Amino acid sequence: MINLFIKTYGCQANVADSQSVENYLVSLGGVQVVDKEELADLILINTCAIREKAEQRVFSYIGELAEFKKNKSYLNIGVIGCMASYLKKEILTRFDNVSFVFGAKDDLNILKEYLHDLIVKLETIKEVYEHNNIFEQDNKIKFELKKIKRIINSKNIINKNKNLSDLALGGIKNKFLELKQSFINIMTGCNNYCSYCIVPFTRGREKSYPSNILLDRIKKDLDLGVKEITLLGQNVNSYKDPITNNGFEWLMEQVAKLNGDFWVRFVSSHPKDMTIDLLHVMANYSDKLCAYVHFPLQSGSNKILQSMNRTYTIEKYMEQIDWIRKILPQATITTDIIVGFPGETEQDYLMTRKIIEQVRYDLVYSFIYSPRKYTKASLMEDNCPIEEKNRRLQELQTRQMEICFENNLLTVGKTFKTLVEKRLTNGKLLTRTAGNLRVLYDGNDDLIGNFVNLKIQSAGRANLVGSLIK
Ligand code: 5AD
Ligand code: SF4
């Protein structure tokens, strides 16, 4: 039996990719998932390149794994995902303990074939190792191990199967099956070239997957008892069925028309492609399509938005926020913000702060700008000291926490349908509303993966507390 451990960094697209790789390996037979690195024969690290900090975390994690390799020289460590797309050679040169590297924009069928062969090899090597303690002296096996270490690309693996791989869509792994959640990539890549963003370089050009394949997959997941489906893409609003040209609104409507009691979410939207039609579809099927809109602002200053190549103005963005509030009055709205972008003055920053006051988001993911290789912004002049960027971020986050608390207080006394997600270490059940608000509840484990109606009793900054309504 080969023990597999997968460590995932980054966005939900990575979560979906890791799940499908895990599903695929388990489906081969002879592979089981373990929850500790020291138990693993194969460790896969799915990486994120969005900010330098994310990369540093991955680098130090790979370094820490050297210890496990000391005790088990046949341990294979594979690096996949966004960093693996553009740092292949660096990762292999810098880390002797890494066995192979496979990038996020490469054809997943190639990874599939490689992993298939690798599992067969590992099974043989592990068997020899377990029966023979002179493993280290066995040059034949050392030679095998050396052969395994390589960058996986189409040049050294023949791709026999050109069909769309199940791996591309993502999957549900056992843990998620218990949670009744499924994450599905409806597209990959991005064509937007926001000037700060590395994603178009690590995930490649935008590519939508055919809706018949997506709908079949969703039906299959619903048959397995899934209650929450999250449709994923860097910019889901620009989804286009490659055969029929039908857009995202159409796809959402088809999903909503499927039978069953389930929820559908999607991330992420780009304001330049968000349509009023999508909001109407969400309102028409509000029992299934969650009133949750992640709507990345990035900056409240038109000058900065232009320099970020976001192609919308703050006036247009606010008009769209008005649409959301009118058409989906109960909607939860969240956003992404970058502070300290090159050229951002105090004035520009204050404009961003003003927008968070006006919109009163339910959650803001905020980051300090991090220069990324290949991007236009990395070549822009940036005079703002890091201390000042830190101050802006701290101030914004402190104010946003107050706004979250004020929003949360408004929910007290209201009743929400929630999906029970898991038991937290504090003993409470964590549930989420359609708007993705966290509601804690004292209940039994058998409720996990089910919908319950909760009345909000009290509100904190991050969580609400609810009691069961029969
Ligand atoms: N620096 C800081 N934040 C970034 N993001 C993307 N690229 C960068 C970068 N270079 C943020 C954006 C995006 C979110 C996923 O990550 O806000 O919406
Ligand atoms: Fe990056 Fe912009 Fe594409 Fe989002 S839309 S992935 S921020 S380039």
389 in the same domain as 320 = yes
User: Does the CB atom of residue 262 touch ligand 1 within 6 A?
Assistant: no
In a 13 Å sphere around the CA of 368, the CA atoms on its Cβ side amount to 16
40 in the same domain as 124 = yes
For residue 159, is it within any domain? no
- Ligand 2 atom closest to the Cα of residue 270 is 5
Q: What is the CATH number of the domain that holds 207?
A: 3.30.750.210
pLDDT, residue 301, reads: 98
For residue 35, is it within any domain? yes
Q: Which of 93, 118, 151 is the last residue of a domain?
A: 151
Atom 1 (ligand 2) nearest CA: 197
Q: Which of 151, 186, 210 is the last residue of a domain?
A: 151
Dihedral of the alpha carbons of 216, 221, 222, 225, in degrees to the nearest 10: 160
446 in the same domain as 373 = no
Atom 7 (ligand 1) nearest CA: 197
State the residue for tokens 């104010």. 399
280 in the same domain as 255 = yes
pLDDT, residue 378, reads: 97
Find out whether 404 and 396 touch, Cβ atoms under 8 Å: no
Find out whether 271 and 316 touch, Cβ atoms under 8 Å: yes
Q: What is the CATH number of the domain that holds 375?
A: 3.30.750.200
* Dist. CA 397–CA 332, nearest whole Å: 18
For residue 167, is it within any domain? no
Count of CB atoms within 10 A of residue 74's CB?
A: 22
- Ligand 1 atom closest to the Cα of residue 11 is 15
- Dist. CA 367 → ligand 1 center (Å): 7
pLDDT, residue 179, reads: 63
pLDDT, residue 60, reads: 96
pLDDT, residue 402, reads: 97
Q: Which of 98, 117, 151 is the last residue of a domain?
A: 151
Structural element, H or E, at residue 252: helix 248-256
- Dist. CA 379 → ligand 2 center (Å): 18
Q: What is the CATH number of the domain that holds 439?
A: 2.40.50.140
Atom 4 (ligand 2) nearest CA: 234
pLDDT, residue 424, reads: 92
Please count the residues of the chain: 470
User: Does the CB atom of residue 294 touch ligand 1 within 6 A?
Assistant: no
pLDDT, residue 140, reads: 55
pLDDT, residue 133, reads: 58
pLDDT, residue 126, reads: 85
User: Does the CB atom of residue 50 touch ligand 1 within 6 A?
Assistant: yes
For residue 165, is it within any domain? no
- Ligand 1 atom closest to the Cα of residue 298 is 17
286 in the same domain as 187 = yes
Q: How far is CA 46 from the centre of its chain?
A: 11
Ligand 2 interacting residues, C-beta cut-off 6 A: 190, 192-194, 197, 199-200, 234-235, 270
Count of CB atoms within 10 A of residue 50's CB?
A: 20
Find out whether 302 and 353 touch, Cβ atoms under 8 Å: no
Find out whether 184 and 218 touch, Cβ atoms under 8 Å: yes
pLDDT, residue 127, reads: 80
- Dist. CA 79 → ligand 2 center (Å): 23
- Dist. CA 298 → ligand 2 center (Å): 11
457 in the same domain as 387 = no
State the residue for tokens 């009744």. 180
- Dist. CA 339 → ligand 2 center (Å): 16
For residue 166, is it within any domain? no
Q: What is the CATH number of the domain that holds 110?
A: 3.40.50.2300
- Dist. CA 409 → ligand 1 center (Å): 30
* Dist. CA 366–CA 393, nearest whole Å: 7
70 in the same domain as 139 = yes
Atom 18 (ligand 1) nearest CA: 336
For 119, the domain range is 2-151
pTM as predicted: 0.91
For residue 81, is it within any domain? yes
In a 13 Å sphere around the CA of 76, the CA atoms on its Cβ side amount to 29
For residue 164, is it within any domain? no
- Dist. CA 209 → ligand 1 center (Å): 25
For residue 332, is it within any domain? yes
CA angle (158, 160, 166) in 5-degree steps: 115
317 in the same domain as 259 = no
- Ligand 1 atom closest to the Cα of residue 368 is 2
- Ligand 2 atom closest to the Cα of residue 190 is 3
280 in the same domain as 299 = no
145 in the same domain as 239 = no
3-state DSSP helix/strand/coil % of the chain, to nearest 5: 45, 20, 35
Instruction: Give the list of residues 6+ apart from residue 154 with CB closer than 8 angstroms, or none.
Output: 106, 107, 110
Task: Give the count of domains, the chain.
Answer: 4
- Dist. CA 236 → ligand 2 center (Å): 11
* Dist. CA 133–CA 129, nearest whole Å: 6
Regions of the chain short of the pLDDT cut 50: 137, 153-162, 176
User: Does the CB atom of residue 321 touch ligand 1 within 6 A?
Assistant: no
Looking at residue 298, the DSSP 8-state letter turns out to be B
131 in the same domain as 16 = yes
- Dist. CA 43 → ligand 1 center (Å): 27
450 in the same domain as 334 = no
